[in-house]
Structure 1
Amino acid sequence: MNPETHVLLLDVDGVLVTPPEWFGARLLREHPELTRQFFQTAFYAASTGKSDLRTHLPGFIAALGRTQTADEFLHEWLESENHPNTPLLDDVRQLRAAGWRSYLATNQEAHRTRHLLHEVGLNEVVDGEFASCTVGYRKPDPQYFAEVTRRLGVAPEQIVFWDDNADNVASARAAGWQAHLYIGRGHFGRVMAGQNT
């Protein structure tokens, strides 16, 4: 396979970024009902580009019983998850040096997308992003994969996609992508080595 004719798309959470605990998981443990409602409504809207997450935070913070400003809360959230999977990022750098174009393919709202690119440093290993807030749909919605394919302007089978969520992988395969379930760096390396032959 010629990497110059193929594109590598990578999920973020659980693949390129692997914190010891997700901020949302801690909130769910401490405030299950409030947090579940927040993620199903306000966060969902922000992660599909329909609203700005920051505008939803003051009410949520108050409901949690915290005294932080929206900026303080957002900073705590983003920095707590600033744990890049450095060995995998090194692998992606090598693939790009071999001719692969790479992009983020992730369910994210705009503030974290910018943080991932510029603070976590993922902009150093990708050519761009297809965050759900940019695309307008979330994985595993088939419309997400259709829209990303359209924006890339390549045939679906030219897209190699990695995600740690089986539903997302199944939906990507249904869209014609070469989709793989991410289970670790070793498996990733073996599969991608085969892609380059």
Structure 2
Amino acid sequence: MVVQAVIFDIGNVLIGWQPEQFFDRVIGQERRMAFFDAVPILEMNDRVDTGENFHDAIAEMITLYPNWADELAIWRDRWIEIASPAIDHSVRLLRALRRGEHTVLALSNFGNETLEMAEREYPFLEEFDQRFISGEMGVIKPDAAIYERLETACGVQPAALLFTDDRPENITAAQARGWQTHLFDGPEGWAARLVADGLLTEEAAQ
């Protein structure tokens, strides 16, 4: 079926999201591994992505894990450095699709407060026709409910949606609903898919 709407994930598609690599640089790999083993920081991040207040979640974690207060403060105070850099080629693809008058949506696991921080750093995050953000919706990928709500809100048949995401489980969930999908492993492959589907010319996809 002809694609009627293109859907971007945000983290690791439009902006980097590699917290392990960031902490390896800042505190060293050994200390980072101990931190991630001792503190359920990624689980906390999922809670924030489901709508829990970012600052409240960090404060709670500092209370529960005082020996890791410094590392948790880094997560709080330098969060925008973790969510970096912009993936420039992907941003160009987003804008090329918009110039071609294609409908472009975002479907992302993102907290409310962290999205505000990201918007200030990356204004292109406000350039979608519609955004479906887990923190606002109270549900995260790969829960089927978030995909269903996007379908209902955008009014496009599932088979006419093309979705890219870097996480296989999120792609599998979209496929189960009949979406067209692309597992993102770099902007070059995504660009080639958009060209192959006739959504962009090779020149526009550069």
Partner residue of 2:9?
A: 11
Letter in 2 for 1:130: F
Q: State, as a whole percentage, how many aligned pairs show the same letter.
A: 20
Partner residue of 1:22?
A: 19
- CA deviation map 1:86-128 (0-9, x unaligned): 1221121111100112222111111122222332223354233
Local SS of the residue matching 1:14: coil
Q: 2-side partners of 1:44 and 1:81: how far apart?
A: 15
- CA deviation map 1:136-188 (0-9, x unaligned): 22111111211111121221122110011111111101111111111222221
Partner residue of 1:106?
A: 108
Gaps of 5+ in 2: 24-30, 200-206
Partner residue of 2:79?
A: 77
Q: 2-side partners of 1:136 and 1:68: how far apart?
A: 27
In the TM superposition, residue 10 of structure 1 has moved relative to its aligned partner by 0.8
Asked if structure 2 preserves the Cα contact closer than 8 Å seen for 1:169 and 1:179, the reply is yes
Partner residue of 1:168?
A: 170
Superposition TM-score, scaled by structure 1 size: 0.82
Partner residue of 1:155?
A: 157
**Shift in alpha-carbon separation, 1:121–1:75, aligned structure 2, 3 A:** farther
Aligned residues: 190
Asked if structure 2 preserves the Cα contact closer than 8 Å seen for 1:82 and 1:120, the reply is no
Asked if structure 2 preserves the Cα contact closer than 8 Å seen for 1:2 and 1:196, the reply is no
- CA deviation map 1:22-57 (0-9, x unaligned): 268738524124432x432x43332112x2121121
Local SS of the residue matching 1:118: helix
Partner residue of 2:28?
A: none
**Shift in alpha-carbon separation, 1:128–1:35, aligned structure 2, 3 A:** farther
- CA deviation map 1:3-22 (0-9, x unaligned): 6xx11111122211125x42
- CA deviation map 1:61-91 (0-9, x unaligned): 3524436997x75231123323100122112
Asked if structure 1 preserves the Cα contact closer than 8 Å seen for 2:107 and 2:131, the reply is yes
Local SS of the residue matching 2:141: coil
1:66 aligns with 2:69: yes
Q: 1-side partners of 2:196 and 2:163: how far apart?
A: 14
1:52 aligns with 2:56: no
